[in-house]
């Protein structure tokens, strides 16, 4: 499916089986994207499509300026969408996807955003949603301008903040300015307590067999905790284990991920996984040995990662990759505004349909919240 607009930008809707053939252009787009989004980068998205989301019907919206890929967005279509009740198209997501912004060329952000909306309009003339986008970032703002230019109404739903950390100050300046004195004393006390049990050290792996081994250490720690007991740890399922081994181990992709391990007497007691896209590191997973929960092993590892990040400057920014509030909020001072971008491409009654959908979503969230409160009693 191909269209060409007045600016000569070609919009092509592809089948997901065509993605491997796009790797050179796709990787190049990731390097020059207006906003980094690891969840739609090849080394993260392809393992998901091959494992966790195997069999899913995902359409790939692309925009081209000649042979230059300037936009990419995976979407899913709902078989039966009820106007005012459900969206017909959603930017593709899984339980391991925490940002659904399309990849847009930084040099052609406006044209690329308009092309993505044009591509969606080829698939549906109903309501659409891009979940958990950076709502005040350049890509979301460009999408809103593209929608406004079409006269398509839009709204931001389910708004929250996500922690972020930018390169800049020294580690000492960061701790003094952004971490409370009480928290600093607590971290120092827990470190002393652990050091009484054995030598404490940080081990970082970024490539090859050592990285693969570190991924296995993370998987074992996660499976040994409460997620393992619930059966939700990545290692509990063959598909999610395979996804983690490929996406976190990133075989054949240089500088795509790192695993940090906090070692006590040579034994991993906490692990953190960071996957990179562009200049941003996304802290997608973390786990710790619950035998050392009272020592704050997870937070001590986070402190070590902050020190490494601010000292080594191996990324420009870290993204917490969370659904909202998280323990990392106490250590990372920056915040990213996050929301679901919901809009209607209906030819008639678009505003009413969007208002009905957002109102229904509000009521549904309220009902879920009440049910959750009742179950806690």
Together in a domain, 274 and 345 = no
Structure-block tokens of residue 52 = 């966790």
- Asked which of 53-57, 69-73, 194-198, 364-368 is least confident by mean pLDDT, the reply is 364-368
Q: Is residue 141 part of a domain?
A: yes
At 84 the pLDDT is 78
Mean pLDDT of 321-336: 89
At 85 the pLDDT is 81
At 4 the pLDDT is 62
Q: What separation, in Å, do the N-terminal and C-terminal C-alpha atoms of the chain show?
A: 53
Which among 89, 74, 77, 79 has a CA at the least distance from the CA of 127? 89
Range of the domain at 190: 168-315
Q: Is residue 79 part of a domain?
A: yes
Domains of the chain: total: 2
Together in a domain, 265 and 362 = no
Together in a domain, 127 and 244 = no
Together in a domain, 81 and 19 = yes
Does residue 318 register a pLDDT over 90?
A: yes
Predicted confidence (pLDDT) per residue in 123-132, tens digit: 999 999 999 9
Question: Are 354 and 156 in contact, with CB atoms under 8 Å apart?
Answer: no
At 377 the pLDDT is 66
**φ/ψ of residue 174, rounded to 5:** -60, -50
Does the pTM of the predicted model rise above 0.85? yes
Q: What angle do CA 286, 289, 292 make, to 5 degrees?
A: 120
Distances (CA, A) of 72 to 26, 135, 257: 8, 18, 22
SS3 208: helix
CA distance 224 to 291: 10
At 278 the pLDDT is 94
At 197 the pLDDT is 97
Q: Is residue 329 part of a domain?
A: no
Which among 203, 213, 222, 201 has a CA at the least distance from the CA of 290? 222
* pLDDT, the chain, mean: 93
At 3 the pLDDT is 64
Structure-block tokens of residue 111 = 């044209």
CA distance 170 to 182: 20
Together in a domain, 115 and 16 = yes
Last residue of a domain, one of 315, 350, 366: 315
As separate numbers, helices (DSSP H) first and strands (DSSP E) second, the chain gives 11, 14
Q: Is 126 exposed, middle or buried (0-12, 13-18, 19+ CB in 10 A)?
A: buried
Together in a domain, 151 and 213 = no
Predicted confidence (pLDDT) per residue in 13-46, tens digit: 999 999 999 999 999 999 999 999 999 999 999 9
At 366 the pLDDT is 83
At 204 the pLDDT is 97
Together in a domain, 303 and 359 = no
Together in a domain, 181 and 311 = yes
Predicted confidence (pLDDT) per residue in 46-90, tens digit: 999 999 999 899 999 999 999 999 999 999 999 778 887 889 999
List the CATH number of the domain containing 273.
3.40.630.30
Beta-bridge partners for 317: 166, 280
Q: Is residue 324 part of a domain?
A: no
Q: Is residue 42 part of a domain?
A: yes
Together in a domain, 155 and 180 = no
Together in a domain, 155 and 11 = yes
Q: Is residue 327 part of a domain?
A: no
Does residue 149 register a pLDDT over 60?
A: yes
Residue 140 φ/ψ region, left for φ over 0, alpha for ψ in the -120 to 50 degree band, beta for the rest: alpha
Q: Is residue 255 part of a domain?
A: yes
Does residue 210 register a pLDDT over 90?
A: yes
Q: Is residue 323 part of a domain?
A: no
User: Which run of H or E residues covers position 161?
Assistant: strand 154-166
At 15 the pLDDT is 92
Question: Confidence class of residue 198 from pLDDT cuts 50, 70 and 90?
Answer: very high
Mean pLDDT of 160-167: 95
Residues above pLDDT 70, as percent of the chain = 97
């Amino acid at each position: 499916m191909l269209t060409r607009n007045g600016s000569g930008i070609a919009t092509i809707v592809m089948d997901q089986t065509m993605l491997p053939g796009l790797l050179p252009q796709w990787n190049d787009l990731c390097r020059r994207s207006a906003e980094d989004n690891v969840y739609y980068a090849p080394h993260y998205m392809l393992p998901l499509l091959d494992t966790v989301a195997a069999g899913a019907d995902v359409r790939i919206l692309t925009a081209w300026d000649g042979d230059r890929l300037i936009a990419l967005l995976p979407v899913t279509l709902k078989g039966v969408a009820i106007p005012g009740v459900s969206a017909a198209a959603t930017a593709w997501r899984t339980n391991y996807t925490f940002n659904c912004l399309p990849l847009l060329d930084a040099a052609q952000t406006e044209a690329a955003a308009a092309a993505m909306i044009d591509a969606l309009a080829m698939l549906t003339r109903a309501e659409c949603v891009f979940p958990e986008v950076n709502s005040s970032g350049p890509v979301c703002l460009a999408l809103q301008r593209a929608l406004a230019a079409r006269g398509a109404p839009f709204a931001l739903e389910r708004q929250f903040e996500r922690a972020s950390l930018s390169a800049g100050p020294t580690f000492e300046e960061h701790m003094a300015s952004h971490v409370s004195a009480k928290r600093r004393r607590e971290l120092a006390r827990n470190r002393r307590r652990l050091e009484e049990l054995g030598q404490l050290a940080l081990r970082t792996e970024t490539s090859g067999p050592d990285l693969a081994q570190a991924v296995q250490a993370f998987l074992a720690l996660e499976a040994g905790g409460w997620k393992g007991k619930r059966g939700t740890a990545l290692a509990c399922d063959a598909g999610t284990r395979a996804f983690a081994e490929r996406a976190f181990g990133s075989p054949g992709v240089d500088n795509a991920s790192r695993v940090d391990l906090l070692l006590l007497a040579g034994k991993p007691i906490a692990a953190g996984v960071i996957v990179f896209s562009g200049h941003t590191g996304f802290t997608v997973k973390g786990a710790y040995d619950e035998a050392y929960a009272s020592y704050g092993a997870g937070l001590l590892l986070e402190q070590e990662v902050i020190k490494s990040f601010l000292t080594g400057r191996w990324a420009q920014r870290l993204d917490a990759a969370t659904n909202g509030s998280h323990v990392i909020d106490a250590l990372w001072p920056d915040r990213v505004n996050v929301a679901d971008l919901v809009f209607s491409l209906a030819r008639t009654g678009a505003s009413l349909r969007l208002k009905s959908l957002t109102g229904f979503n509000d009521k549904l969230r309220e009902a879920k919240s009440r049910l959750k409160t009742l179950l806690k009693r």
